[in-house]
Amino acid sequence: MKRDLVIIGGGPAGLAAAIAAYDKGVRDILVVERESRPGGILKQCIHNGFGLTRFKESMTGPEYAQRFIDEAEKRKIEILTDTFVTRLTDKKEVTCMNERGIFTIQARAVILAMGCRERSKGALNIAGTRPAGLFSAGTAQKYVNLYGMLPGKRVVILGSGDIGLIMARRMTLEGAKVLCVCEIRPHSSGLRRNIAQCLDDFGIPLYLQHTIVEIRGKERVEGVVVAAVDKDKRPIAGTEKVFECDTVLFSVGLIPENELTKGAGIPLDGRTKGCTVDGDRETQAEGIFACGNVLHVHDLVDFVSEEAEIAGSAAAEYLFGGERQKRLIPVQAGQNVSYVLPQRLDAASESPQKLYFRVTGAIKNAVVRVEGGDGVREWKKIAVAPGEMEHITLPPAYFREAEGLCVSVLAQEA
């Protein structure tokens, strides 16, 4: 089987990429989706707050997803559901499996949009037992929102990721008692809005620089021991407190799901855990693009859609014009920046290039500085925080002659 464009994943990234590619003239598009309905993780994100940037209104996850599903349907884009991609090669061969069998598609271009997974509690090496009642926040979300079941009644949450915060409110509204949220770092990794509306509204305490040091309970969770940690994240003896609970949720980070990518031998960035891409979101394998949470973890779906449209449009261009002559220059993360995306920029590009980045720590009155192109450019930001992705836009004139760029963030001098 041959297809022009195969998109792996029918979540927000895959759908937006498909629509963008279609609008650039690609007609032979196949979106491969492992679940029985498109929409990805948004299906279970029934809370609101989606679309504020893109649609200037606050939507729920299913509402946001539906906009894209409707657009895809309007264009009659084929979405193959209940189909799992088992293999990908750097030659753009996509092997799929579903209830009709296993088959391989030779694509002319591929867009990776597989999303991410939650970091599991197993990776944390928490002492104690391993009874029933330990859930990643997303798994609990699925039980509550899609299954209509409450995992437990007394809950402690480890990690202040957004899904954990959202679940604190959701389970509280459904009658559970959320005792606290523990965050090992000195700052929350979730959006400020979520701290205010999911914790503060319900009087749920957020313990910064605290972690769970022990899980208790034989068959079902019976309690946890929480302790303060020092600046090296080591528990401080004598600060232990016991919380009696029947459930622990873990919201300790998201990891791009790149097993297929690794199988294809496409290089990944150690920091984003996604591919290294250029401004087109093209990976180091020609004709294979990536977007959304499989590329780097986003905090707002609005940016996922935007990124997917870049990838979808670029894939269309590639399909019509072949690989463009590019002069790729590296973009580096400088002081106080944990990563910049894209990692490479086409200096020959005639269009402005948007750089997305995350900072390593919270800074108020910050200055974003870009060096390496035509002089030094600076942007002022009221405040930056690791939980909130930032971006700046560079005009072509700035990078045309550059050999490499570096983005750093500094505290503004008074």
Please tell me whether residue 233 binds other proteins under the rule CB under 8 A.
no
Q: Which stretch binds other proteins (CB under 8 A): 61-69, 157-165, 285-293, 324-332?
A: 61-69
Backbone dihedral region of 392: left (phi > 0), alpha (psi from -120 to 50 degrees) or beta? Answer: beta
414 touching other proteins, by CB under 8 A: no
> In the range 91-150, which residues lie near other proteins by CB under 8 A?
95, 97-102, 117-118, 120-123, 125, 127-133, 135-136, 138-139, 142-150
Task: Please report whether residue 237 would count as binding other proteins according to CB under 8 A.
Answer: no
Nearest distance in Å: CB 84, other proteins: 4
The DSSP code sequence of 276-314 is: ---TT-B-SSTTEEE-GGGTS--S-HHHHHHHHHHHHHH
- Burial label, 239 (beta-carbon count in 10 A; 0-12, 13-18, 19+): middle
Q: Is 382 in the site for other proteins (CB under 8 A)?
A: yes
Q: Which two tokens stand for residue 331?
A: 């973009």
Site string for other proteins, 154-193 (x = CB under 8 A): -----------------x-xxxx---------------xx
Instruction: Identify which of residues 230 and 403 has a Cβ nearer to other proteins in the complex.
Output: 230
Binding residues among 241-270 for other proteins as defined by CB under 8 A: 246-247, 259, 262
Question: Is the distance from CB of 170 to CB of 141 less than 8 angstroms?
Answer: yes
Residue 72 burial (CB count, 10 A): 22
236 binds other proteins (CB under 8 A): no
Tell me how far, at minimum, the Cβ of 375 lies from other proteins, in Å.
Answer: 27
Count of residues touching other proteins (by CB under 8 A): 77
Residue in the structure block whose two tokens are 């997305």:
356
The whole-angstrom separation of Cα 117 and Cα 307 is 19
Interacting positions 383-412 with other proteins (CB under 8 A): 383-385, 388
Binder of other proteins out of 196, 236, 242, 411 (CB under 8 A): 196
What are all long-range contacts of 194-202, with beta carbons under 8 Å and residues at least 24 apart? 194/162, 194/165, 194/166, 195/160, 195/165, 197/169, 198/165, 198/166, 198/168, 198/169, 199/165, 199/168, 199/169, 201/169, 202/168, 202/169, 202/172, 202/178
Q: Which is nearer to other proteins, 259 or 323 (CB)?
A: 259
Site for other proteins in 10-49 (CB under 8 A): 34, 46-48
27 or 241: CB nearest other proteins: 241
